[in-house]
């Protein structure tokens, strides 16, 4: 079993839809990254959080350390949100395989 599981693996949405991506992990951690990988391969860090919720624009990330679960939400999705979203517990330097999101106009 992978230490980090993301769901869904692939996600298709219409522009404007509310998106949720889930991340579950089996290891005890202190904090978790959410990353976005663009089609060209470059990766940017969206959030690093250790508790509660963080919001940046249309993106919201939540985490429950005790339940070993985190979610990334995108409100009012847009085609430019199309990317692979990756969760990564910080302590273990391991990464989920990512969720590929495609948003159509």
Partner 1 sequence: DGGITQSPKYLFRKEGQNVTLSCEQNLNHDAMYWYRQDPGQGLRLIYYSQIVNDFQKGDIAEGYSVSREKKESFPLTVTSAQKNPTAFYLCASSTQAGIFGELFFGEGSRLTVL
Q: Which of 20, 48, 58, 78 binds partner 1 (CB under 8 A)?
A: 48
- Nearer to partner 1 by Cβ, of 67 and 93: the residue is 93
| Residues ≥6 apart with Cβ < 8 Å to 104 | 12, 13, 14, 15, 79
Minimal CA–CA distance to 72: which of 46, 91, 51, 105? 46
User: Among the candidate windows 14-22, 42-50, 53-61, 75-83, which touches partner 1 by CB under 8 A?
Assistant: 42-50
Phi-psi region of 87 (alpha: psi -120 to 50; beta: other; left: phi over 0): beta
57 binds partner 1, rule: CB under 8 A:
no
**Least separation in angstroms between CB 88 and partner 1:** 8
Q: Which of 15, 55, 91, 104 binds partner 1 (CB under 8 A)?
A: 91
31 binds partner 1, rule: CB under 8 A:
yes
């Amino acid at each position: 079993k992978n230490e980090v599981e993301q769901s869904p693996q692939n996600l298709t949405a219409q522009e404007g839809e509310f998106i949720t991506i889930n991340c579950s992990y089996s290891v005890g951690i202190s904090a978790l990254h959410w990353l976005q990988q663009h089609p060209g391969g470059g990766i940017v860090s969206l959030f690093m959080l250790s508790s509660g919720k963080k919001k940046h624009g249309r993106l919201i990330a939540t985490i429950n350390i005790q339940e070993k679960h985190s979610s990334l939400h995108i409100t009012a999705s847009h085609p430019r949100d199309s990317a692979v979203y990756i969760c990564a517990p910080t302590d273990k330097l391991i990464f989920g395989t990512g969720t590929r999101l495609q948003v159509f106009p």
